[in-house]
Every structure is written in structure tokens, then in C-alpha cells.
Copies of this chain bind each other. A is one copy, B any other.
Amino acid sequence: MPVAKGASLDPAHTRATILDAATDLFYARGLDGIGVAELCTTIGVSKETLYRHFGAKDKLVQAVLESRSDKVTRWLRSAAESAGDDPFDQLAAVFDALAGWHAEPTFRGCAILNAAAQQHEGPPRAVARRHLDRRLELLTDIARRAGVTDPTTVGRQLLTLVSGATTLADHRGDTDAAVVAKQAALALLRH
């Protein structure tokens, strides 16, 4: 005798619950590391509900990654802005924010780049590209306002340091990778 517990019955809320929980589970276990069935039982939702909201696992993955990219981009941008107007301070703040993220016990690298590394083709690749483009935009803007002669190149070098630091924090456990990278980044910004 099936018993519907009647929790929320608010579709938007249900969708958000699935999205949030799936974000954490995919991040912790990998896209192929958790199946739809386990996903549903863990979240506390039926498969029919999940499929009515997202249609397919791939679509859920895409929704998860896009919302994650939005959130992370907003987070890093606000970290920069909260450091004031000075581009050097902003750049330092970006790397300090990264260091804080890397030190979190649940840190496992960039969820979006990890996903793109798992699925060589398909939506995650495109999301990853846009994600990096947005980050490059932020860093290039800082470089430009710092008055470097070639903001485009310096922006790319800063993005290289950001990406590399996250890689080392993940694969070598270097929780201070961003701090080390920050010194290099500031040196580059000073021409």
C-alpha cells in the first residue's frame, strides 16, 4: 500500500531540492558514480518526479552544472568586489577566496571541469568553456584596471594560475596552492 507522505507539493521547491542535492552528489561521487535510482532514494524523491522535472539524467547534469557555474561566478565576483576598487587588492581577494574553497573538507576540484573531464562530448564541455570564459573576463578586467601593457595576455596568465592552483589543491592536497599562486599573480600584475 503506497503512501504518499505529501511533503511540499510545490513543484518549484521540489525541483530546487533535486537540483541542490544532485549538485552535491554528482560533485562527491562523479557523474557516473551515482545512478538515478540511488540519487532518488537519497534525495527522497521518486524517479517519476525526477524525470518529470528534468526529462533525462543528462538534462539534470546540465542543469546542475549551469547553476553551479552561475553560483561560483557570482561568488568569485563578489569576493573581488568586496575587496574595494584596487585591482591588486581584488586579485589578492580572488586567490584568498580560492584558498578558502580549497581548504573545505568536501573540496574535490572544480565540479564543472571534473564533469567535462568525464564526458568528452556533450553539454558539460560547453558549460566548462563558458565557465572559464566568464572567469577570464573577470581576471582580464582586473589586469586592465591594473594598467598592464597587455591585459589580454595577463588575463590568460592569471586564469592559468587560478586553474592550476585548483588542480594542485585537488590532486596534490595543496590547500595553500592558491596562496602560492597569489604571489605569482601579483608579480605578473606588477608587469
Seen from chain A, the residues whose Cβ lies within 8 Å of a Cβ on chain B are 28-30, 32-33, 108-109, 113-114, 116-120, 125, 128-129, 132-133, 153, 156-157, 159-165, 167-168, 171-174, 177, 180-181, 183-184, 187-188
Contact = CB atoms under 8 A, between A and B. Distances in A.
A153 B180 CA distance: 7
Contacts of A29: 120
Secondary structure call for the A interface? helix
Nearest to A191: B187
Q: How many copies does the complex hold?
A: 2
A189 B164 CA distance: 17
A94 to B, nearest CB: 14
B132 A171 contact: yes
22 contacts: A28-B120, A32-B32, A117-B117, A132-B171, A132-B172, A133-B172, A156-B168, A156-B177, A157-B161, A157-B180, A157-B181, A157-B183, A157-B184, A159-B164, A159-B168, A160-B164, A160-B167, A160-B177, A160-B180, A161-B164, A162-B164, A163-B164
